Every structure is written in structure tokens, then in C-alpha cells.
Structure 1
Amino acid sequence: MHFLFEPVRFDDKHQSWSGRTRSDKDYPGFYHWHQCTEILFVHQGVGYIIVNQRTYELRPGMLFVFQPFQLHKIFADVAQDKPFERTILYVDPSQTEAALRPFPKRHALFHKLWKDQGIRTVFDMQEETGRLEAIFESYGLLDARRREYDQEETTLLLLQLMGSIASVRDEKEMQSSVHSLERKPRYSEQMMQWIEAHYAEEVTLEKLAEQLHLSKYYISRVFHEETGSQITEYLTARRIKQACRLLQTTVYSVERIGMDVGYPNVSYFINMFKRVVGTTPLKYRQRHMGL
């Protein structure tokens, strides 16, 4: 299994930049989350991205904002002649919010993208692609030349990104993009939504099949076709994510946390947690309590 909490190390910086990273070999993706805000722009590629129990198309011009600790998975169908090329910016949201305060509209939008659970954080930026490509190229040149932290340049980059998002959001919020978000959920999305409400309980294929009025064999196949993973992988990722949150934010015992996330057998919970995260729940708590 390869899904876990992926901490982004900023050191003395408040951002981490990866411009036009290219993949032209197998890119299956995995369920993961970060402690910071991630902004992903797709230059080239086809596939899908799973976030908030929804599946979104991965294609050129798409921009995704992943909130801190938001479970997501990226799957790109790549080959030598169809690479996955993306730019990723990780930012410390509290520091970024402070830097944007002199700009009320951009500050308000970033704050919503950071914290609002109901806001749309997936944007079709095709109309802004030329502008964004120029912005990223300019910032990439500065990053390559300086190689040191520059709050002013990063703030300028974020101001421009928020401006592009705002223009697309304002123009299309009541148009076709909204209609696409209101489409009937795919079967895999219905399964993820059901798991979101019931992951702390005993989850079986029979229960899922009964909920969707389908056979358990069909739901296994369609979930894999639509997400590239097995139902058990998603369920485990969701449970372990919640376990990590409880380990960091409560003083509950490991046994109590295991029960709260759907693992009544504490030994099984500890083994599964170590398999996924790479360490025991207790060591994870000790290491990450201050995050």
C-alpha cells in the first residue's frame, strides 16, 4: 500500500515550488494528504483526480487547490507521447494569509480556499492558460536564479494566482462549470460518500452493494475502473487519515482511536497503521504532536 500523510518540509521557508515537473512513465498515484495548502496546475496530461469524494478530470488547464489534510489521489494515464506535466506550489496557509492581508479581495478568496469546506477548489483555467504559463515561467526563472526564499516574489505569485481564479470563478460560477459540478455522482463517488459517513463502522461489500442496489462483484469492478484503486485501499486511507488527526489533536488511547476509526482489534489497528504510515501510532503521535 502507498497512501499516507506526506509532510511538506519548508525549513526556513513558507513555500515549496516544483515547476513543470514531467512524468512519462507509469503514474498510478496514491491516496495522501499534506499539512499545508497545495496548488496544482496541469500543463499536460490526462487522467483524473479524486478529492472530497468526487472524481475530476485531469487535463491541460485544470487547477486544483488541496486544503490541509484533505485526502486526494492523482492518477495520470501517461506514456512517452502523452506525459503528465504539472506545476505544484505548496504554501504555509497561515503565513500566506498574513502576507495577503493588505489585499482584501485576494485575501478573502485565499482564506476561503484554505478553510471553507463548501467552496469549490477545482477550476477549469483554459481561458487563463496563457497568463498562467507566463506567471509560472517568470517565477520559475526567479527561483532558478536566486535559490533562496523571497516572500515578496511568492506573495506576488499568489496574488496573480488568486486574480486568475477570481476571474474564472466570477465568470463561470453560475454557468456551465456549476452544471458540471451538479451532475449525478458516479458509482465510485457514491461509494466514497457512503464510506465517509460509515467508515467507523464495519464496512463490507455486501453493505455497499445493498446501498447502491448493485452486485458486490460489479461495485468492486466499477470502483477500480473509475478510481484506479480498490475499495479497501480507499477505506483504509480514510480510516488512517482520521486516526492521524485524532493522534495529533486528542489524548485518546491508541485502543480508543482504533475503535473510533473502525478497527476494534487494537493489534490489527497498530499493524495496519504501521503498514500504511511506516511507524506505530504512538511514535507517530510523539513525532507529530507539534504539527
Structure 2
Amino acid sequence: MRLSPVMLHSSDMQWTIKRITEQPFAGYYHWHSCCELLLVHQGQGSVIVNHKRYEMEQGMLFLFRPFELHRVHAQITPEHPYVRSIIYVDPNRLEQKLRDFPLLRRFVTKLFQTQNGQSSFSLSAYLPMIDSLFAMLLGNPASFSTLQHEEDAWLCLVQLLRMVQAADQDHEGGTSDRSIKRIKKDSERIMKWMEEHYQEPFDLGVLAKEIHLSKSHLSRVFKQETGSSISSYLLARRLKEACRLLEASECSVEEITRRVGLTNASYFIQTFKKHIGVTPFQYRKKGGR
């Protein structure tokens, strides 16, 4: 659970196309300073973002905005691998690239800037076209100049975003089978409660009482639906807020400890270093990088 740094190339964009994972992995809560687009080519599981749980399936595209806490939990077996493409992009640079496409630019700007906005789109109908686009990027790089390859990458991203726009329009018009496939779960109620109370000392009994579930059922259902424990999610949310405070305020470590619901500054420092990789002082000194 951490800020997951992404070193964008000179083009302010980074691609990973059809990465295959055949062995189970736990996944972790994290966030980025840039935008991430995750396209699922094959796989099942769930995605947690914006205190919501989404079902993962073929053709789903997930959007993670800058600094949005998220976690991908793929259910992987040798017979059912997890295949996905990931694009990291600087939203400011993308907005500049879209200046000649005013309608798409308006859609993307709103999409990226809307807090707690839509995070899931069904692009299953567009997968053949997407495969053709990605095949172009996976062609022999030696036959292209660096500039040509960069231009191709931006063209592919623009076309992919146009498909997202079309899927969104289909959904609004009622012609899409499911731009958002999601059924509210108990885990969402739990995450919503924690979003409202993570700055306070945590008591599982209080949460259970307010959610109207037993403590044992509470922990079990959260694990089943998200693939993680309640304590892992809560810690990730607290660390994310701690990072924000270190970057945006002059609060002391003791004050930040209190503001994220903890009582022991030494424990906070140790936990922060364990999961973020540096001490709070070092993080602040580096400006969050």
C-alpha cells in the first residue's frame, strides 16, 4: 500500500501492452501522481476505487485518476490468467494533445477531473479494433523512428479515449449492455464508513454496530469481496492522507499522526517508512517524490 511511482517517458506516457500473469498475486492498495488506464483483455476478479467495488471481466476499462486509492484483485489460475494493458499518462500533457479535438477534450477533461466520477467502462465491443491498434504499437520498433513511435502511441490513446467516449454515450442513451457492471456490496458500506471515520481511532465493534453486521461477518465479507482485510484498507487510506498532509501542509509529524486517527507518533513513523519506503521527514523533503 503506497504511492506507486511511475516514471513517465519523455512523451509523458507509458504503455504496457497485454501483460500476462499466470500465478496468483495479492495486490495492494496504491495510488499514482498521474492517470492510469487499465484495460482487461482476460481475467476475473474485482477492482476497488472510490470506495466502490467493480467486477472485473473481459473488455472492461478502469480509470484511476491522480492520487485515487485503488486495488486490483485478480482471481488467477493457470487455466485463467490475468491479461491486461496499462497506460500511464500525464493528464495535463494529454489535454494539450487533444486541443484539436474539442469535443473529446471536453469529455476527457471532465472525466479526469470529476472527483469520485465514473471509473469503469465496457469496451468489449471494441476489442477487435483495440487489438489492431495495439498490434501496430507492438510492431518492429526498429522500423520506426522514436518520434514516429511516440506519435503512434498518442494516436492509439486518442482512439482508445474516443471508444471510451462512445461507450459512455451508449450508456447514457440506454444502448450499452453495461458500461458499469456493479452491484452494491457490504464492502462498499464498510469503505464509506471508513472514509468518514479514518481520522478517528478505529474500533471494529463500533463499525459492526453502525453497519449492522457482526464483527466476524464484517471481516469475512470484506475479505471475500475485496481480497484484502479491513485493517489493510484503513491503513492505506490513512497513509494516503498522511502523504497529502506532508506535501500540502506544515503540520508536525505528531499533528499528522493525530489527524490520521493514530495516537503514537513513533508507530506512525515506523509504519510510514515500512510502506512508503522513506520516513515522513524524507518524504516531505523530497516533495512527495
Task: State the TM-score, normalized to the length of structure 1.
Answer: 0.92
**Moved segments of 4+, more than 2 Å:** 139-155, 173-181
Given that residues 188 and 222 in structure 1 are in contact (C-alpha distance below 8 angstroms), is that contact kept between their aligned partners in structure 2? yes
Q: Is the 8 A contact 1:209 1:219 kept in 2?
A: yes
Q: Quick check: 2:50–2:116 contact (8 Å CA) kept in 1?
A: no
Matched, 1:33 2:57: no
Structure 1: runs of 5 or more not aligned: none
In structure 1, the partner of 2:129 is: 131
Shift of 1:38: 0.4
Q: 1:178 to 1:79 in 2, by over 3 A?
A: closer
**Contact preservation (8 Å) 1:101, 1:107:** yes
The answer on whether the counterparts of 2:16 and 2:87 sit within 8 Å (CA) in structure 1 is: yes
Structure 1 position 139, deviation (Å): 2.3
The change in CA–CA distance for 1:199 and 1:74 in structure 2 (over 3 A counts) is same
C-alpha distance in structure 2 between counterparts of 1:144 and 1:264, whole Å: 57
- Contact 2:40/2:57 (<8 A) preserved: yes
Q: CA deviation at 1:265?
A: 1.8
Tell me the equivalent position of 1:211. Answer: 210
Quote the Cα distance in structure 2 between the aligned partners of 1:191 and 1:118: 17
**Equivalences for residues 145-156 of structure 1 within 5 A:** 146=144, 148=146, 150-156=149-155
- Counterpart CA distance in 1 for 2:216 and 2:226 is 16
Deviation of 1:142 after TM superposition, in Å, equals 6.5
Match in the other structure for 1:194:
193
The percentage of aligned residue pairs carrying the same residue is: 38
State the 1:129 CA deviation.
1.5
Alignment-derived partner of residue 248 in structure 2: 249
Do residues 114 (structure 1) and 130 (structure 2) align?
A: no
Which moves more between the two structures, 273-282 or 6-15?
Answer: 6-15
Aligned to 2:103: 105
Kindly provide the CA deviation profile for residues 118-138 of structure 1, in whole angstroms up to 9, marking residues without a partner as x. 431210111112122222222
- Aligned residue-pair number: 286
In the alignment, is residue 5 of structure 1 matched against residue 6 of structure 2? no
Aligned to 1:276: 275
Give unmatched runs, 5+ long, in structure 2: none
1:168 aligns with 167
Task: Name the CA shift for 1:118/1:50 in 2 (closer, same or farther; >3 Å).
Answer: closer
What code does the residue aligned with 1:232 have? S
**Which secondary structure does the structure 2 equivalent of 1:279 belong to?**
coil
Q: Is the 8 A contact 1:109 1:162 kept in 2?
A: no
